[in-house]
Amino acid sequence: MQMNKKDKELIIRVDEILHYLWDPIGISNEPSARDEYTSYVPQIFSMLKSNMGVKDIAEKLDGFAHNEAGVDAKRMNNDTIAEILIDYHEHIFNKTT
């Protein structure tokens, strides 16, 4: 699948946000774990491209944290992370260059 420049940038930002900000299992300072959340990126990317809202994205992050990482989703501030993801999506696709 051919991706445009803005899609590629969004993929990178989603990956970074999940690794450095969301990080439900606390591995962001481990270089060997840099790809720990990479498998979640396509689903979040797709949700952002579909203009899904904070609630839907936060629920998906809750599911990843609970079902995949085994972390109590209530401990996570997934609404804030969802807002950040949406803000990046809007920034990337509204900029003129």
Cβ atoms of 31 and 90 closer than 8 Å: no
How much is the average pLDDT of 76-85?
A: 92
For the entire predicted model, the pTM comes to: 0.89
Comparing 97 with 63, the larger pLDDT belongs to 63
Instruction: Identify the domain containing residue 47 by its residue range.
Output: 5-94
Number of folded domains in the chain?
Answer: 1
pLDDT tens digit string along 38-75?
A: 999 999 999 999 999 999 999 999 999 888 777 775 55
Q: How far is CA 75 from the centre of its chain?
A: 17
Residue closest to 43 by CA, chosen among 26, 22, 25, 64: 64
The C-alpha atoms of residue 29 and residue 85 are separated, in whole angstroms, by 21
- The dihedral built from the CA positions of residue 71, 60, 38 and 11, taken in this order, carries a sign that is negative
How high is the pLDDT of residue 76? 65
H-run or E-run covering 33: none
The conformational region for residue 71 under phi > 0 = left, psi -120 to 50 = alpha, else beta, is beta
